[in-house]
Amino acid sequence: MTTLERGERLELFAAAAALGPIVAAHRDALDQERRTPLPLVEAWRAAGFVRLWLPVELGGTEADPETVLGVVEAVAALDGAVAWNLLISISGALFAGYLPEATAHTIWGANPDCISAGSFMPTGRAVPVDDGYRVAGRWSFVSGVQHADWVAGNCLVFDGTQPRMGSDGAPEMRLMFLPAAVGTVLDTWQTGGLRGTGSHDLAIADAFVPEGFWFDVFTGRGRIPRPLYRLPFVTWFGPALAMLTLGIARHAIETLVDLAASKVPTGQQTSLRERPLAQIQVAQAEALVGAARAFLLQTAGEAWDRLVAGGEPTAGELARLRLANVHAAESAVRAVEVMYQAAGTSAIPSSSALDRCLRDVHVAAQHIAVSTQHYQVIGQTFLNRSGAPAV
């Protein structure tokens, strides 16, 4: 486990910001080709980003969540789609702390910069056979699948024709890992927002998955007893995704500020920067982003400190962290909308950075990890502090 020093974090944040010229050079390709250009993927690897959440035994940094949140935020302030696939690459390395040691060495041992892509939706079927499973299925939203080395598809386990039920009465699920070449990428990613993520469908007709190349992504605890891996995988993915939406909002604010210096609205004599309404709108957006960012970092930091000290966050603390995730995405959406409105017709062209931010933030906020549907169970936790539901 590594809690990086401030100087080390700042170096990583600077390296993230330094991706700007590469992102700018491939801006059109991101939308037209609907994938992350390989020069950007190689730049992530060269900067060490892909190894940030990889266990140290495999050559990783095993960095604290605040460091990763900062890197993702900095890249999202350049481009939301690039940051999305970077986050997928970083968080994919977390899997190494949950899979059996031999499996982790098979996947990452020879290549610490190995990238995995997958889907947590249990739309696959896994049938037990000798020494493993036969797997088939089709998964949607497999971001970054075109540059992935390995793929992971969540499956329901079947005994014969019926799903196997766990002791809690729910169907058993397994996140199955296979070499990327086993699957077929289906060109399905036709969207307005986050076009550059290449989140196509993945199909596997029939493949053998050896025993040990799977784990339960929603409830499984890591095999490594260090802070980063002691809670279910989704614990840290949610805050990082929430910070990504705030990075998109930061991009929108900076774009509007730059535009306001030169734009003179039709029928006006002064620049947009001098208009009271624009001044109010920028202040509103800054408040939305700043407050949400502070709440997110506070709750993530509290959970991390509890783990570093040898304990675990309480149900209430985890509820606050999930609340911060949802609140951040909701605030980011509103901040981008305010900046889009402030820009007037300058925001309309599809080539406009504000138009891209608007499309990207709305798509990002649809992810289940930051969905507003979580408000209800979070509220239940706060109203029922004894015997609170697990969140």
**With 60 as the cut, is the pLDDT of residue 389 above it?**
no
Q: In this structure, is residue 222 part of a structural domain?
A: no
Q: Is 99 helix (H, G, I), strand (E, B) or coil?
A: coil
Residues 267, 370: one domain? yes
Q: How many domains does the chain contain in total? A: 3
Beta strand pairing call for 162-163 and 184-186: unpaired
Neighbours of 121 (CB within 10 A): 15
Q: In this structure, is residue 193 part of a structural domain?
A: yes
In the listed set 69, 97, 125, which residue is the last one of a domain according to the structure?
A: 97
Full domain range(s) for residue 239: 231-383
Q: In this structure, is residue 357 part of a structural domain?
A: yes
Q: What is the pLDDT of residues 177-217, one digit of tens each?
A: 999 999 999 999 999 999 999 999 999 999 999 999 998 88
The proportion of the chain whose per-residue pLDDT surpasses 90, expressed as a percent, equals 83
Residues 131, 58: one domain? no
How far apart are alpha carbons 110 and 149 in whole angstroms? 12
Q: In this structure, is residue 1 part of a structural domain?
A: no
CATH classification at residue 22: 1.10.540.10
Q: What is the pLDDT of residues 27-85, one digit of tens each?
A: 999 999 999 999 999 999 999 999 999 999 999 999 999 999 999 999 999 999 999 99
In the listed set 215, 249, 284, which residue is the last one of a domain according to the structure?
A: 215
Query: pLDDT class for 387, splitting at 50, 70, 90?
Result: very low
Q: What is the pLDDT of residues 249-297, one digit of tens each?
A: 999 999 999 999 888 776 676 788 889 999 999 999 999 999 999 999 9
Q: In this structure, is residue 109 part of a structural domain?
A: no
Residues 143, 93: one domain? no
pLDDT of residue 2: 61
Q: In this structure, is residue 181 part of a structural domain?
A: yes
Q: Is 5 helix (H, G, I), strand (E, B) or coil?
A: coil
Residues 125, 169: one domain? yes
Residues 84, 138: one domain? no
Residues 243, 379: one domain? yes
Give DSSP secondary structure letters for 249-317.
Answer: HHHHHHHHHHHHHH---TT-SS-GGG-HHHHHHHHHHHHHHHHHHHHHHHHHHHHHHHHHTT----HHH
Residues 249, 210: one domain? no
Q: In this structure, is residue 16 part of a structural domain?
A: yes
What is the pTM assigned to this prediction?
A: 0.94
Residues 235, 378: one domain? yes
Residues 343, 251: one domain? yes
Beta strand pairing call for 150-159 and 162-163: antiparallel
- Under 8 Å between Cβ of 69 and 304: no
